[in-house]
């Protein structure tokens, strides 16, 4: 079984692991950014509910939207 790789094609560095698995207290202004991102995500989720039929694909879309919101929060927390 092959090992997971990062975009560089190598294992994550210790610095990356330390950053990814550390608590990142919100910096000034970040809380408002997180709230804005979640609000827009919720707006899109409500649009999904308005137009998409109840089905596995709609559930998948909701999960991916949630994952996208969380990934953006991580990008902000880990890289600012």
Q: What is the pLDDT of residues 22-40, one digit of tens each?
A: 999 999 999 999 999 999 9
Determine the Cα–Cα distance for residues 1 and 19; give it in Å rounded to an integer: 26
Domain membership flag for residue 58: yes
Per-residue pLDDT, 11: 84
Phi, psi of 9 (to 5 degrees): 90, 5
Predicted confidence (pLDDT) at residue 9 exceeds the cutoff of 90: no
Domain membership flag for residue 12: no
Domain membership flag for residue 16: no
Q: Which domain holds residue 66?
A: 37-80
- For 44-79, give one letter per residue: b (16+ CB within 10 A) or e: eeeeeeeeeeeeeeeeeebeeeeeebeeebeebbee
Domain membership flag for residue 80: yes
Domain membership flag for residue 25: no
Tens-digit pLDDT profile for residues 44-59: 999 999 999 999 999 9
What is the count of structural domains for the chain? 1
Q: What is the DSSP letter of 55?
A: S
Q: What is the mean pLDDT of residues 4-16?
A: 72
């Amino acid at each position: 079984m092959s090992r997971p790789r990062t975009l560089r094609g190598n294992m994550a560095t210790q610095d990356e692991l330390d950053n990814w698995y550390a608590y990142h207290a919100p910096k000034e202004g970040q809380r408002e950014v997180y709230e804005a991102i979640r609000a827009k995500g919720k707006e899109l989720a409500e649009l999904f509910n308005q137009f998409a039929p109840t089905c596995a694909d709609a559930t998948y879309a909701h999960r991916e939207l949630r994952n996208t919101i969380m990934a953006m929060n991580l990008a902000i927390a880990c890289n600012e």
